[in-house]
Chains A and B, each alone.
Chain A
Amino acid sequence: MVTAADFESKTEIKWCPGCGNFGILAAMKDALAKLGLSPEKVLVISGIGQAAKTPEFMQCNMFHALHGRALPLATAAKIANHNLKILVNTGDGDCYGEGGNHFMHAVRRNIDLTVLAHNNMVYGLTKGQASPTSERGTITRVHQHGVIMEPFNPLAVALSLKAGFVARGFSGRMEHLSSIIQQALQYNGFSLIDVLQPCVSFNHVNTHRWYSERVYELEKENYSPADYMQAMVKAQEWGNRIPIGIVYKQDKPSFTDQVFALKDGPLVDRTYSPEPLRELLKEL
Chain B
Amino acid sequence: MEAKLLMGNEACAEGALAAGVRFYGGYPITPSNEIGEILSSRLPAVGGRFIQMEDEIGSMAAIIGASIAGLKSMTATSGPGFSLMQENLGFAAIAEVPCVVVNVMRAGPSTGMPTLPAQGDVMQARWGTHGDHPSIVLCPSSVREVFDLTVTAVNFSEKYRMPVILLMDEVIGHLREKVTLPQPESIQVVERPRPDCPPEWYKPFEDTKTGVPSMAAFGDGYRYHITGLTHDSMGFPTTKKDEVESLIQRLFRKIRQGFEEIMLYETFLMEDATAAIVAYGCTARSAKSAVLMLRKEGMKVGLLKLSTLWPFPRVAVESLPEQVQELVVPEMNMGQLYREVVRVGHGRFRVKKVSRIDGELITPQEIIYGLKRRERK
Contact = CB atoms under 8 A, between A and B. Distances in A.
Given A67-B80, A142-B40, A126 B33 contact: yes
The secondary structure that dominates the A interface is loop
A45 interface: no
A66 B112 CA distance: 11
Contacts of A67: 55, 80
B111 A141 contact: no
Contacts of A143: 40, 52
- A100, A127, A141, A144, most chain B CB atoms within 10 A: A141
B37 interface: yes
Contact of B52 (A64, A68, A100, A142): A142
A175 B348 CA distance: 73
A130 B28 CA distance: 10
B355 interface: no
B271 to A, nearest CB: 48
Contact of A141 (B27, B30, B37, B54): B37
Contact of A129 (B41, B52, B80): B52
B91 to A, nearest CB: 18
B295 to A, nearest CB: 44
A105 to B, nearest CB: 15
A66 B27 CA distance: 14
Contacts of A135: none
A130 B52 contact: yes
B28 A129 contact: yes
A141 B55 contact: no
A66 B52 contact: no
Interface string A68-95: 1000000000000000000000000000
B55 A126 contact: no
Residues of A in contact with B, size category: 10 to 19
A123 interface: yes
Interface string B50-80: 1010110000000000000000000000001
B186 interface: no
A23 interface: no
A235 interface: no
Nearest to A145: B44
B28 A66 contact: no
Interface in B17-37: 27-30, 33, 36-37
Nearest to A66: B80
Given A129-B28, A142-B36, A97 B41 contact: no
B79 to A, nearest CB: 11
B208 interface: no
B41 A144 contact: yes
A276 to B, nearest CB: 34
A215 interface: no
B110 interface: yes
A130 B41 CA distance: 14
B33 A48 contact: no
Interface string A91-127: 0000001101000000000000000000000010111
A98 B37 contact: no
A132 interface: yes
Contact of A66 (B33, B50, B110): B110
Contacts of B40: 141-144
B41 to A, nearest CB: 5
Contacts of A141: 37, 40-41
Nearest to A126: B28
B30 A126 contact: yes
A100 B54 contact: yes
Contacts of B30: 125-126
Contact of B55 (A64, A98, A123): A98
Given A66-B111, A142-B50, A97 B36 contact: no
A98 B54 CA distance: 5
B205 to A, nearest CB: 32
Contacts of A97: 54-55
Contacts of A144: 40-41
Nearest to B54: A97
Q: Most A CB atoms within 10 A — which of B28, B40, B55, B110?
A: B28
A24 to B, nearest CB: 22
Interface in B63-122: 80, 110-111
A132 B53 CA distance: 10
Contacts of A68: 55
Contact of B54 (A123, A126, A129, A132): A132
Nearest to B81: A67
A67 B56 CA distance: 10
Nearest to B30: A126
A141 B38 CA distance: 9
A129 B110 CA distance: 23
Given A66-B111, A123-B28, A126-B30, A142 B54 contact: no
B84 to A, nearest CB: 9
A69 to B, nearest CB: 10
B111 to A, nearest CB: 7
Interface in A161-194: none
A59 B302 CA distance: 54
B82 to A, nearest CB: 13
Q: Top 8 nearest A-B pairs by Cβ distance? A: A126-B28, A142-B40, A98-B55, A97-B54, A129-B28, A141-B37, A144-B41, A142-B37
Interface of B: 27-30, 33, 36-37, 40-41, 50, 52, 54-55, 80, 110-111
Given A98-B27, A144-B41, 14 more contacts: A48-B80, A48-B111, A67-B55, A68-B55, A97-B55, A123-B28, A126-B33, A129-B52, A130-B52, A141-B37, A142-B37, A142-B40, A142-B50, A142-B52
21 contacts: A64-B111, A66-B80, A66-B110, A67-B55, A67-B80, A98-B27, A100-B54, A125-B30, A126-B28, A126-B30, A129-B28, A129-B52, A130-B52, A132-B54, A141-B37, A141-B40, A141-B41, A142-B37, A142-B41, A143-B40, A144-B40
